[in-house]
Structure 1
Amino acid sequence: MKYDPQAIETKWQETWATNGDFHTDHTSDKPKHYVLEMFPYPSGNIHMGHVRNYSLGDVVARFMRMKGKNVMHPMGWDAFGLPAENAAIKNNIHPAKWTHSNIDNMRSQLSRLGYSFDWRRELATCDKEYYRWEQLFFLKFLEKGLLYRKRQAQNWCPTCNTVLANEQVEDGLCWRCDTVVEQRDLAQWFLKITDYAEELLADLEKLKGGWPDRVISMQENWIGKSVGAEIEFKVEDSEEVIPVFTTRPDTAFGVSFMSLAPEHPMVEKLIEGKEQADDVRAFVKRITNMDRIERTSDNLEKEGIFTGAYCINPLNGTKVPVYVANFVLVDYGTGAVMAVPAHDQRDFEFARKYDLPINVVIQPEDEKLDPTTMTEAYTAPGVMVNSGDFSGLTNEEGKDKVAVWLQENTCGKKTINYRLRDWNISRQRYWGAPIPVVYCDECGIVPEKEENLPIELPLNVQTHQDGRSPLPDTPEFINCTCPKCGKPARRETDTMDTFVESSWYFARYTDAQNHEAPFTPEALNYWAPVDQYIGGVEHAILHLLYARFFTKALRDCDYLDFDEPFSNLLTQGMVLMDGSKMSKSKGNVVDPTDMIARYGADTVRLFCLFAAPPERDFEWSESGIDGSFRFVNRIWRLIEELEGELLTAAPCSSTADDCTCKEAKNIRLKEHETVKKAGDDIEQRFQFNTAIAAVMELVNELYLAKDALKGDEKGRKVLSSAISTVINLMSPFTPHLCEEIWEMLGHTDRLVHAQWPTYSEEAMVKDVLTVVVQVNGKVRARLEVPAAASKDEVEELAKNDANVLKHIEGKTIRKVIVVPGKLVNIVAN
């Protein structure tokens, strides 16, 4: 019997599909388990990262079915967005045709790997039956006050020809194409994610233990909660006020100048009529186009320009000059910073450069700072000085008391600031979900009527080679009727950020073919939240944060009744080649289709699961996949060699009475130990590699014991039970191989419906234990002793071992230490 993975795997894939073995619904009386991997962008071909991701999820799904759970394991396509549009433009094909062709190809590739998806729940975010509900959510959020349109400076990628959310700018570059991001003044649509900043932060506590600590920390830092005070500085000879946020109100008496972001809306008012106005405008233009990350770098050379205006410190009446500075960002705090050079390093460097006063207001307890000799800002704790009635307080006491004074004197207040900013969901590209609003000369901005949804993306358009959206040039799309007054109006031509689609897809899967609603409450509330989510850590402050916000917003619009979308999260590592991430540009891509053709899907899956723990990167190697192929064949040959000897036995079905020889006892013991080890490694630790390793050890033991056990009725029972256990334990990893062997063993029920084997504590009790014997700390013997032997009996056996006697001969035994079942240490001299 030659192992033929191609024939075996296609046979069982067809069987599973024909019988609907992975179909499930929410009417089962079994406990539910929702397993979900982050859905793929349909690029056209799967890569090894896909194989690893979906193999991990498939193990969880298959294991949980074997544990008696009602498992939902769906699949769909993150189908809108720039990559598809750019690829289609490059290949001179429409994005819709490109996308659906790629979906067909990738569906076939994923099916060939034998994943246990319920394909009835398949969705593609570019289908109108999906984005019609997204447009409905837009209208509900608008009605709820969670959406607004505002004009302000935006991150603009000149290569992608669209704006980017703050989370999509990485080190000043576009997250997709690495182009330097510019700032452009545009009117855009924003989701008020900041309304949920505190809840998003607080609810991370609920996720501890279920989410990686690293992801939780990344979200905490991105939300960026800061407790402090807002202080109002009046502009001299004006009714205008410049509010600032500070975490150090204790230093407010030391303010010697004010720093504004170049984009701050007050800049033009402050320089109006001033002689330096043109110079300030030139400075603003230059700094506005700088890299945002560079502007906040500690290594940045601090630059600024005086506006000609002054403001008044409300705490001491001091007049301080107002500067525009390159290190202040408009979207952090209020976009204005009170500068205290003595106690902030950036302010210190700025003050030294422009010869501005340095006022010490916090003194350390053991020395006295002299501003004329200071070489850096003092930022450690100390005692307040030169601070009016607050002098003498510790600076920690002063933080609260100054904030209280500000509030009592109506020139400030205690407040909390967040780094998080509202989510810009407008995109100036074609391949996305249309935003369902119109612009009417009579009525202004008007939301579409729900009954008019979906507002369909026109498919009869020609994309532009430079990536500009064709929608503004499509009269049949733009021209419409105002839903409010019935007069001619214009549609919004921006489309939604594709992260909107991926923020709720997990909910649509629960009722994916519903044409009357996005989902029914019964289906959603049965399945959700997701019990196990799997995907890359690179989405920690993008998709994962957005999906958490979207869930809370849908909850507040009465669509669902839970707070968090994903109860548990597993972030898998990358697949590397020669130490680098696989990529076409590096020429180091391993094609999964080629590997399946050479080795079969089971081997490819097995190697991805065995090579490293899921959360770590692993190196692709020919020797590694060859090793996995050898193990698969090793299982196959074991069955072949024992043809005619094996019984149709259930896992863990042999008994103590069947164990008439040492080999039988060892195999039964190892069988039950392996069930416990593999089950714990999968369920509790996601250590799939060590679970596989445990089964490998059992297979090795079977090879050593098979000749002693075959030919004997009771020995055959022990062999058959242990081999059935191997096949059951391996079925989540190599399902086709195991299904085939299960059938060969005479089972009439399909393995896909089998239960995970149950181990027995009694079967894991050892009759004989191996005890190490040391003499003066050096190992001199290993003894097989009865498990029930007393300390005294073990000691006597140790002292009478021939090798031990040789090493204590002529010496006096001073002490004997016995660790039951493990060790005897004899101290002699």
Structure 2
Amino acid sequence: MYDHLEVEKKWHKYWDEHETFKTDVWDFSKPKFYALDMFPYPSGVGLHAGHPEGYTATDIVSRMKRMQGYNVLHPMGYDSFGLPAEQYAVQTGNNPNGFTQENIKTFTNQLKELGFDYDWSKTIATSDPDFYHWTQWIFKQLYKDGYAKYVDMPVNWCEELGTVLSNDEVIDGKSERGGYPVIRKNMKQLCIDQAAFAERLLEGLNEIDWPESTKEMQRNWIGRSTGVEVQFEIVGGGKFSIFTTCIETIYGITFMVLAPDGDLVQELMPRIKNQDEVKAYIQETVSKSEMDRTELNKGKSGCRLEGIKAINPVNGREVEVFIGDFVLANYGTGAVMAVPSHDQRDFEYAIAHHIDMIQVIEGQDVSEHAFEKQDYLGKGCKLINSEEFTGLTVEEAKVAITKKLVDMGIAKETVNYRFREWIFARQRYWGEPVPIVHLEDGTDYVLPDEELPLILPELEDYKGHNGKAPLENATDWKQYNQNGVKGVRETSTMPGSAGSSWYYLRYIDPQNKEQLGNPELLKHWMPVDLYVGGPEHAVGHLMYSRIWNNYLYDKGIVVCKEPFKKLVHQGMILGENGIKMGKRYPEFVVNPSDIVKKYGADTLRLYEMFMGPLEQSKPWSMAGCDGARRWIDRVYRLFIESGKVTDTNDGKLDKVYNQTVKKVTEDYESLGFNTAISQMMIFVNDAYKAETIYKPYAEGIVKMLSCITPHIGEEMWQLLGHEDTIAYEPWPTYDEAKLVEDTITCVVQVNGKVRGKFVAAVGSSNEELEKQAMELETVKRQIEGKTIRKVIVVKGKVVNIVAN
């Protein structure tokens, strides 16, 4: 048994003093390998036992690649802008920077004690002005190119937090942080036009090695649909458009639904007979978050616009008009056509509001009592009640009806996306200042490059008031008057997702004062070869990163469209109660520092990798942690204390050693760490039974194990007689010839029942196998006094004897 505290302290000091893991990014003589973890937010709580799982995975692969001759870049940084630091500032009146720096220090110490091979010289933090200088610069380019713009739109507003929230920051109508109520309100917002990138984002998913579930989430989030946009007139004047993918059902329209918060409803208000009812419904709607309005199984809420009717352009039929909260003013056209006979939501809405139905596609009875959701639009189904299009199949009708409407000049074929603007403004303090000045003439001025970074001012009051951003309190900073340009600075800050949308590029050249990164370095190191992080970022961070990278590709700043070549989502480490570690069950949160102190960092790393497949969620077990430490001690005794290691090879461990090198190498490549550990355990068990252990075999196992348990790996390597670090030693190789089995095991059956088995040499003839089978005592007893009728040999597997 070894003293883990002493050993780990020793090697931490060695790695720091020798800068063992510092990457020379200009060394192009070796193939590159760029491994990256989704960087953490440095909270005041510090790491819990779930954090190291993904970090250990990339660490193992990085260490193996380094031994295989790759120049490895494996950095770490901090996503350090965010609400927790903002709330700290509001509550204490202190600048959040100091709080953040203390948290970064805590995180760094915890990560270092776990022995990760990070190049700490390349650490970045998104709240560092040297970093957000370039976040502002990228935004500036987006703004100049028309991708970033101001839009008057409904947003998710959280009064308690005093800021706008994105859709992925709202859960069940409440803020993700703090659980505060979120409402919808109209505000002028700085947005990035995500839809402009939709097609290339969809295409790019075919080029990357990502989990299919994540790709599908992104496809659904983008929500590409091909259909027809049709113009409808309103009786008495006015018009609006709808988008539909089911134009063949247009003869089945019995009502239309408009967005309650859209401009059209306000224009129609003087003609609406039930104004009080309509206004009350609108007020009720705007108090709901977008998630509440579009949640599954919703959509029956609504209000009839009495006195307002629309005209179906194909037959002149007048249909009623409603407002419904499931229609959003800022999505699509802000209006939908409703065909209750052929859409489940429309059907339920029609039942709730007593609206007629018209069946226009053949199928079962669709009356109120008989209707069940099914596919009426299946291939080959024919239209009914559709004038000259009756009798056409759905596919034929799509084409014919579209042509009619286009020829009438009231329709066009188009592609629509669920993807909408990325709201890029937050009414917070702790975020990147936006480098825009609003001039007195109503135009906007973008700061020149020499005025970047625009640094956050210190405030006395970090809380916004009455919907205004905290930076409104910075009265001097807010006023801009330079080089003849006079105006007021933008006081909203960028969202937390801004810095994380491009941080992977900055690691490559973090000290560059002149550029986001040297073009030659960016060309060499991108894309990231392995990216590991949680699946919760599938349609947030991962989507935003792809958008920014595609934009920078268009600008010629990066040479690859996609930033992350291979993506892996680690599973969750649950508490011993099987529930996610967190504030709700603090008694089940495991502090990794406590485990390191009691068992050692190597034990924590080994245990988490042995718990099960990386992608699966697993419950923590202190007993399992204890078992991992006992096995490390067993390995140490075998290679260091047993006296078995020798320079002579007796050949008895040849096969298991070569099998182990092959399997561990393949399993590390595929991130199958639990099965790699199992194979090393098989070798260790066999080695304990052997009289001697060939020293190169011991060294090979130590090399492979050192990727998981680096401290004891370095220690054993030194005690086996080596002076230099194990980190750059060549990776073990295996001999294919030694993997070949030289014996086979045959089962013997007598009259169909197993009566024994034996080991024979590979290549034994049928006669030899039959002879060995007959010599088994258990077989002799079964055939004694009987006549052998037949012997069937399935070579290398079974000898079947038929006797009576």
TM-score bracket, normalised by the shorter chain, equals: over 0.9
Secondary structure in 2 matching 1:585: coil
What is the CA–CA distance in structure 2 between the aligned matches of 1:256 and 1:200, rounded to whole Å?
A: 37
Tell me which moved more, 295-304 or 559-568.
Answer: 295-304
Distance 1:790 1:120, change over 3 A: same
Alignment of 1:805 onto 2:780: yes
What is the CA–CA distance in structure 2 between the aligned matches of 1:340 and 1:515, rounded to whole Å?
A: 60
CA contact (8 A) 1:611 1:689 kept: yes
Deviation readout 1:259-313 (Å, 9 max, x if unpaired): 1111222111122243322321111111222354443432554432225222221
What is the CA–CA distance in structure 2 between the aligned matches of 1:200 and 1:224, rounded to whole Å?
A: 11
Q: How far off its partner does 1:750 sit?
A: 2.1
Alignment of 1:621 onto 2:621: yes
CA contact (8 A) 2:572 2:616 kept: yes
What residue in structure 2 maps to residue 546 of structure 1?
A: 544
What is the CA–CA distance in structure 2 between the aligned matches of 1:582 and 1:701, rounded to whole Å?
A: 38
Distance 1:791 1:161, change over 3 A: farther
What residue in structure 2 maps to residue 108 of structure 1?
A: 109
What is the CA–CA distance in structure 1 between the aligned matches of 2:78 and 2:454, rounded to whole Å?
A: 21
What is the CA–CA distance in structure 2 between the aligned matches of 1:787 and 1:602, rounded to whole Å?
A: 42
What is the CA–CA distance in structure 1 between the aligned matches of 2:97 and 2:789, rounded to whole Å?
A: 85
CA contact (8 A) 1:156 1:163 kept: yes
Matches within 5 A, 1:278-427: 278-296=276-294, 297-298=296-297, 301-364=300-363, 369=365, 371=367, 374-376=370-372, 379-381=375-377, 382-427=381-426
Q: How far off its partner does 1:327 sit?
A: 2.9
What residue in structure 2 maps to residue 674 of structure 1?
A: 660
What is the CA–CA distance in structure 1 between the aligned matches of 2:57 and 2:700, rounded to whole Å?
A: 21
TM-score (norm 1): 0.92
CA contact (8 A) 1:699 1:726 kept: no
Deviation readout 1:512-566 (Å, 9 max, x if unpaired): 1111111011111111110000000111111111111111111122211211110
Distance 1:496 1:401, change over 3 A: same
Matches within 5 A, 1:484-503: 486-503=484-501
Pairing partner for 1:762 from 730, 737, 754:
737
What is the CA–CA distance in structure 2 between the aligned matches of 1:615 and 1:105, rounded to whole Å?
A: 27
Q: How far off its partner does 1:370 sit?
A: 6.8
Q: How far off its partner does 1:115 sit?
A: 0.5
Alignment of 1:169 onto 2:142: no
What residue in structure 2 maps to residue 686 of structure 1?
A: 671
Matches within 5 A, 1:114-263: 114-207=115-208, 210-238=209-237, 240-263=238-261
TM-score (norm 2): 0.95
Distance 1:361 1:791, change over 3 A: same
Deviation readout 1:315-368 (Å, 9 max, x if unpaired): 11112222112332334332211111221222223323333221121122xx6x
Matches within 5 A, 1:637-676: 637-643=637-643, 646-647=645-646, 658-659=649-650, 664-665=651-652, 667-676=653-662
CA contact (8 A) 1:348 1:377 kept: no
Letter aligned with residue 564 of structure 2: F
Q: RMSD of the alignment, in Å?
A: 2.1
What is the CA–CA distance in structure 1 between the aligned matches of 2:553 and 2:204, rounded to whole Å?
A: 14
Deviation readout 1:370-418 (Å, 9 max, x if unpaired): 7576545664133112212211101222122222222222111112211
Note the residue ranges of structure 2 that are not aligned, 5 or more in a row.
none
What is the CA–CA distance in structure 1 between the aligned matches of 2:521 and 2:768, rounded to whole Å?
A: 64
Letter aligned with residue 243 of structure 2: F
Note the residue ranges of structure 1 that are not aligned, 5 or more in a row.
710-717
What residue in structure 2 maps to residue 74 of structure 1?
A: 75
Q: How far off its partner does 1:737 sit?
A: 0.4
Letter aligned with residue 630 of structure 2: R
Distance 1:808 1:744, change over 3 A: same
Secondary structure in 2 matching 1:184: strand
What is the CA–CA distance in structure 1 between the aligned matches of 2:751 and 2:89, rounded to whole Å?
A: 76
Matches within 5 A, 1:374-523: 374-376=370-372, 379-381=375-377, 382-442=381-441, 444-464=443-463, 469-481=469-481, 486-523=484-521
Alignment of 1:747 onto 2:722: yes
What is the CA–CA distance in structure 2 between the aligned matches of 1:92 and 1:827, rounded to whole Å?
A: 91
Secondary structure in 2 matching 1:755: coil
What residue in structure 2 maps to residue 50 of structure 1?
A: 51
CA contact (8 A) 2:464 2:470 kept: no
Letter aligned with residue 37 of structure 2: E
Q: How far off its partner does 1:229 sit?
A: 1.1
Letter aligned with residue 474 of structure 1: A
What is the CA–CA distance in structure 1 between the aligned matches of 2:784 and 2:400, rounded to whole Å?
A: 81
Letter aligned with residue 623 of structure 1: A
Letter aligned with residue 51 of structure 1: P
Secondary structure in 2 matching 1:48: coil
Secondary structure in 2 matching 1:190: strand
CA contact (8 A) 2:546 2:562 kept: yes
Secondary structure in 2 matching 1:266: helix
Distance 1:460 1:290, change over 3 A: closer
CA contact (8 A) 2:93 2:460 kept: no
What residue in structure 2 maps to residue 594 of structure 1?
A: 594
Number of residue-to-residue matches in the alignment: 795
CA contact (8 A) 1:440 1:482 kept: no
Deviation readout 1:761-792 (Å, 9 max, x if unpaired): 11222333333333345432231211231233
Letter aligned with residue 398 of structure 1: A
Secondary structure in 2 matching 1:186: strand
Secondary structure in 1 matching 2:508: helix
What is the CA–CA distance in structure 1 between the aligned matches of 2:731 and 2:462, rounded to whole Å?
A: 53
Secondary structure in 1 matching 2:694: helix
Letter aligned with residue 226 of structure 2: V
CA contact (8 A) 2:224 2:418 kept: yes
Tell me which moved more, 212-221 or 430-439.
Answer: 212-221
Distance 1:507 1:811, change over 3 A: farther
What is the CA–CA distance in structure 1 between the aligned matches of 2:793 and 2:569, rounded to whole Å?
A: 45
What is the CA–CA distance in structure 1 between the aligned matches of 2:186 and 2:679, rounded to whole Å?
A: 60
Secondary structure in 2 matching 1:96: helix
Instruction: Tell me the percent identity.
Output: 40
What is the CA–CA distance in structure 2 between the aligned matches of 1:575 and 1:497, rounded to whole Å?
A: 28
What is the CA–CA distance in structure 2 between the aligned matches of 1:540 and 1:813, rounded to whole Å?
A: 67
Letter aligned with residue 152 of structure 2: R
Q: How far off its partner does 1:481 sit?
A: 1.9
What is the CA–CA distance in structure 1 between the aligned matches of 2:402 and 2:318, rounded to whole Å?
A: 20
Letter aligned with residue 695 of structure 1: M
Q: How far off its partner does 1:254 sit?
A: 1.4
What residue in structure 2 maps to residue 713 of structure 1?
A: none
Secondary structure in 1 matching 2:225: strand
Deviation readout 1:620-666 (Å, 9 max, x if unpaired): 111100000001110111134334x534x6xxxx7xxx43xxxx42x
What is the CA–CA distance in structure 1 between the aligned matches of 2:666 and 2:732, rounded to whole Å?
A: 12
What residue in structure 1 maps to residue 564 of structure 2?
A: 566
Letter aligned with residue 117 of structure 1: Y
Tell me which moved more, 243-252 or 216-225.
Answer: 216-225
Matches within 5 A, 1:12-23: 12-23=11-22
